[in-house]
Amino acid sequence: MINVEMRQYGKERSAIRELFEKGKVLKEKYGESNVFDFSLGNPSIPCPEIVNNTLINLLKNAKNLDNNISSFDANYINKYRKLSSTDLHGYSSAQGDKLVRDAISAYLNKTYDADTTSDFIYLTSGAAAGLTISLKALTNGNVNEEVIVFAPFFPEYTVFIKNANAKPIIVEPDYETFYPDLNDFKNKITKNTSVVIINSPNNPTGALYNEQTIIDICNILKEKEREYNHPIYIISDEPYRELIYVDKKYPFITNYYNNSIITYSFSKSLSLPGERIGYILVNKNATDAIDIYSAVCGSGRSLGYVCAPTLFQYSIPYVLGFTSDTSVYKNNAKIFYDELTKIGYKVIKPDGAFYLFVKSLCDDDKEFSNKALEYNLLIVPSESFGIKGYIRIAYCVSEKQIKASIPKFNELYQYYKNCK
Ligand code: PLP
């Protein structure tokens, strides 16, 4: 029998994908340059040259790699010199190649004082796989189990949580900072809470939680762990870790809270979303950390992931610490924020990621997004991110496209102004 829930997920595309498809139709009708597609978080900046060079070198059997090494020692080079085509395209260990995991742990220790080893790193097909694997590993399929998410949030979280048979519990934001409302957070934790998902820098608001907020979240959880006498895990979802445009410290969660897991992805930092590569880091200081790691391996196995894409695994040691030219996003954010604010829109100032969160000009954000379509503007209603009354603009597009769209945003603003 067909699984009704799965059929529904397949039939009902996410609001983001729905808009993306509508955009294709509009582009056919009006021409590519006359449609302003801000729907999808698909990086517009090419990956850094070192990524392609590394792949080419690996495929040519690693002949010229010695000059391009970023963060690991000669042992790796010697190993990689011996890689054959069947190695590069073959299965790796289920948790990922050991030397690749060594390189990641060395990089995390050096950069974030992460105090980890390769035994706590598991390579994944991007952050989405990292999340489904981690959620299944940290819950027991008990329908009463609860996973807390902070609104507004990446819409797929609810799909992934339900897939682990758990219940998503939504915490309201503070509408000034778009950090979580900590009172609401405290009230929503129950004896059934297993996991809390944090995402900073945030999709869709661009908020970067400051250190004090992370400390406050952790303190609340530590108190609740004592009260309920069981671990409550944090999954910190960090595909935008390097996309920060302000002079603020990035709080590395495993340094603040023992029962934590990080899901990381190279999709955004290296502009590689189609290559499906990332990793899970289990905090080695978590209660039963070795068992958590085993559960992660088991979860990946049961979900049929087999191993992360091998060619991209082998490229990671050479590209750790590199990013695409993120100054382009910083520049886009400034132009877009300044121009929309000048028109009269209320825009949340982003500290990172590549999204602007903007107050809808009418109460119904879906209606607003539909009206924007009449101006060939593709912007995502906030309902799908768990709150009402806003829209999300993905500004990982060209500066030219942003500038060309401003008159349309102005016309849209005037339309609503004249309605009142
Ligand atoms: N988490 C968040 C917050 C995201 O915004 C995305 C993608 O947009 C993902 C996870 C999934 O990323 P990946 O491409 O690495 O699976």
**Domain holding 335: CATH number?**
3.90.1150.10
Q: Which of 319, 339, 354 is the last residue of a domain?
A: 319
Binned at pLDDT 50, 70 and 90, residue 137 comes out as very high
pLDDT at 182 over 70: yes
What whole-number distance in Å separates Cα of residue 133 and Cα of residue 241?
Answer: 20
Q: Is 128 near ligand 1, meaning CB less than 6 Å away? A: yes
> CA of 286: how far to CAs of 213, 229, 392, 416, in Å?
21, 15, 35, 52
In this structure, the residue with its CA closest to atom 12 of ligand 1 is 127
- Provide the pLDDT for residue 249: 83
The two structure tokens encoding residue 179 = 């950090």
Q: Is 130 near ligand 1, meaning CB less than 6 Å away? A: no
Q: Among 44, 47, 154, which is best to mutate for testing ligand 1, by the most ligand atoms less than 8 A from CB?
A: 154
- Provide the pLDDT for residue 72: 53
This model's pTM is above 0.85: yes
Q: Cβ(390)–Cβ(360) under 8 Å?
A: yes
- Provide the pLDDT for residue 86: 83
Q: Is there a domain that residue 62 lies in? A: no
- Provide the pLDDT for residue 88: 87
What whole-number distance in Å separates Cα of residue 101 and Cα of residue 26?
Answer: 44
Q: Is 126 near ligand 1, meaning CB less than 6 Å away? A: yes
- Provide the pLDDT for residue 24: 86
35 and 103 part of one domain: no
C-alpha of residue 270 to centroid of ligand 1, in Å: 13
Neighbours of 201 (CB within 10 A): 27
- Provide the pLDDT for residue 420: 62
Q: Which residues contact 212 (CB under 8 A, 6 or more apart)?
A: none
Q: Cβ(373)–Cβ(20) under 8 Å?
A: no
Binned at pLDDT 50, 70 and 90, residue 142 comes out as confident
90 and 210 part of one domain: yes
Q: Is 273 near ligand 1, meaning CB less than 6 Å away? A: yes
Provide the residue range defining the domain that includes 398. 4-46+325-419
pLDDT at 13 over 90: no
28 and 124 part of one domain: no
Query: How many domains is the chain built from?
Result: 2
Residues in the chain: 420
Q: Is 41 near ligand 1, meaning CB less than 6 Å away? A: yes
Q: Which residues contact 193 (CB under 8 A, 6 or more apart)?
A: 146, 147, 148, 169, 224, 228, 232
Domain CATH for 173: 3.40.640.10
412 and 372 part of one domain: yes
Least confident of 5-9, 167-171, 187-191: 5-9
Atom of ligand 1 nearest to the CA of 126: 15
The two structure tokens encoding residue 274 = 């189609």
- Provide the pLDDT for residue 132: 98
- The arithmetic mean of pLDDT across residues 297-325, rounded, is 95
pLDDT at 65 over 80: no
Q: Cβ(357)–Cβ(390) under 8 Å?
A: yes
Atom of ligand 1 nearest to the CA of 353: 5
- The arithmetic mean of pLDDT across residues 162-184, rounded, is 96
pLDDT at 149 over 90: yes
pLDDT at 228 over 70: yes
- Provide the pLDDT for residue 143: 78
Atom of ligand 1 nearest to the CA of 153: 3
- The arithmetic mean of pLDDT across residues 54-82, rounded, is 64
363 and 409 part of one domain: yes
Report which residue type is found at 173.
P
pLDDT at 67 over 90: no
Query: Angle at the Cα of 120 (from 116 to 124), degrees rounded to 5?
Result: 125
> CA of 55: how far to CAs of 47, 48, 69, 101, 268, in Å?
12, 12, 13, 18, 18
The two structure tokens encoding residue 84 = 């054959």
Q: Which residues contact 274 (CB under 8 A, 6 or more apart)?
A: none
Quick one: CA torsion of 285, 290, 296, 300, rounded to 10 degrees? Answer: 150
- The arithmetic mean of pLDDT across residues 170-178, rounded, is 96
- The arithmetic mean of pLDDT across residues 260-272, rounded, is 97
Q: Is there a domain that residue 67 lies in? A: no
- Provide the pLDDT for residue 236: 98
C-alpha of residue 17 to centroid of ligand 1, in Å: 14
Q: Is 237 near ligand 1, meaning CB less than 6 Å away? A: yes
Q: Which of 319, 346, 380 is the last residue of a domain?
A: 319
What whole-number distance in Å separates Cα of residue 87 and Cα of residue 84?
Answer: 5
What whole-number distance in Å separates Cα of residue 413 and Cα of residue 371?
Answer: 11
- Provide the pLDDT for residue 23: 86
Residue range 407-417, pLDDT digits in tens: 999 999 999 88
Report which of residues 220 and 89 the model is more confident about: 220
Backbone angles phi, psi at 237, to 5 degrees: -95, 115
Atom of ligand 1 nearest to the CA of 125: 16
- Provide the pLDDT for residue 16: 81
Closest CA to 164 of 151, 147, 188: 147
What whole-number distance in Å separates Cα of residue 179 and Cα of residue 201?
Answer: 11
Instruction: Kindly state the helix (H) or strand (E) to which residue 184 belongs, with its residue range.
Output: helix 182-188
387 and 274 part of one domain: no
Q: Among 42, 243, 267, 312, which is best to mutate for testing ligand 1, by the most ligand atoms less than 8 A from CB?
A: 267
C-alpha of residue 407 to centroid of ligand 1, in Å: 31
Q: Is there a domain that residue 60 lies in? A: no
Bridge partners, residue 259, by sequence: none
Q: Is 127 near ligand 1, meaning CB less than 6 Å away? A: yes
DSSP string, 74-108: HHHHHHHHT--HHHHTS---TT--HHHHHHHHHHH
pLDDT at 217 over 80: yes
- The arithmetic mean of pLDDT across residues 180-191, rounded, is 98
What whole-number distance in Å separates Cα of residue 138 and Cα of residue 231?
Answer: 10
In the chain, the percentage of residues whose pLDDT exceeds 90 is 79
Report which of residues 148 and 18 the model is more confident about: 148
In this structure, the residue with its CA closest to atom 7 of ligand 1 is 41
Binned at pLDDT 50, 70 and 90, residue 79 comes out as low
pLDDT at 281 over 80: yes
C-alpha of residue 354 to centroid of ligand 1, in Å: 12
C-alpha of residue 105 to centroid of ligand 1, in Å: 22
C-alpha of residue 188 to centroid of ligand 1, in Å: 25
Report which of residues 405 and 33 the model is more confident about: 405
- Provide the pLDDT for residue 38: 95
